[in-house]
């Protein structure tokens, strides 16, 4: 995707967000608490400014010189997408079933195994298992035992 197009899309999203904030703030109770300015004033001011700045930014992007660096590159996109998917599945499973250490082991194992692009399959499995157990142990000792964080 081109950098310009991605910028326009992001600015469009932000304009939408600003609009949503303004629309939502119209429903705030302005008369509450005897305030000179109510809870809606600041959100409306900031959201309004955001929309104005997005328009200015779109204009400056449009005016900018076209260069060869106009392409937005995301190296190793498949690894990023894998990480997002693994993260979402891990947090969802932890949220739904508890069993933190089991899901944490599976999550870490999958990351260590997939990210390791150099070793043989056997070595990758061994390293992933060892590292996942070590990190789990570290979390248990530092967070649960030392800092009394209930996981």
Binding site for other proteins (CB under 8 A): 3, 6-7, 10-11, 14, 17-18, 21, 24-25, 28-29, 32-39, 42-43, 46-47, 49-50, 53-54, 56-57, 60, 62-66, 72, 74-76, 79-80, 83-84, 87-88, 91, 94-95, 104, 107-108, 111-112, 115-118, 127, 131, 135, 139, 142-143, 147-151
Q: Which helix (H) or strand (E) holds 47?
A: helix 41-63
Nearer to other proteins, 37 or 122 (CB): 37
CB of 120 to other proteins, least distance (A): 13
Q: Yes or no: say if 29 and 38 are a contact pair by the CB < 8 Å rule.
A: yes
CA dist 84 → 45, 62, 79, 101 (Å): 35, 32, 9, 19
Taking a C-beta distance cutoff of 8 angstroms, is the pair 28, 39 a contact?
yes
β-strand partners of 2 = 71
In whole angstroms, what separates CA 68 from the centre of its chain?
29
> Least distance (Å) from other proteins to the CB of residue 84?
6
The distance of closest approach from Cβ of residue 30 to other proteins in the complex, given in angstroms and rounded to an integer, is 9
Smallest distance, other proteins to C-beta of residue 138, A: 8
3-state secondary structure of 71: strand
Contact 28, 38 (CB under 8 A): yes
Read off φ and ψ for residue 2, nearest 5 degrees. Answer: -80, 150
- Tell me how far, at minimum, the Cβ of 63 lies from other proteins, in Å: 6
């Amino acid at each position: 995707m081109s950098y310009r197009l991605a910028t326009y899309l992001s600015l469009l999203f932000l304009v939408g967000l600003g609009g949503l904030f303004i629309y939502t703030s119209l429903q705030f109770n302005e008369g509450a608490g005897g305030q000179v300015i109510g809870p809606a004033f600041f959100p409306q001011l900031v959201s309004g400014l955001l929309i104005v700045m997005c328009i200015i930014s779109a204009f400056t992007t449009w005016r900018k010189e076209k260069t060869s660096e106009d392409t937005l590159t995301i190296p190793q996109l498949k690894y990023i997408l894998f990480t997002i998917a693994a993260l979402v599945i891990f947090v969802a499973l932890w949220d739904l079933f508890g069993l933190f250490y089991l899901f944490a082991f599976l999550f870490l194992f999958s990351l260590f195994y997939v990210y390791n692009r150099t070793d043989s399959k056997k070595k990758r499995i061994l390293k992933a298992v060892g590292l996942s157990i070590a990190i789990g142990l570290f979390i248990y000792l530092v967070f649960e035992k030392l800092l009394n964080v209930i996981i």
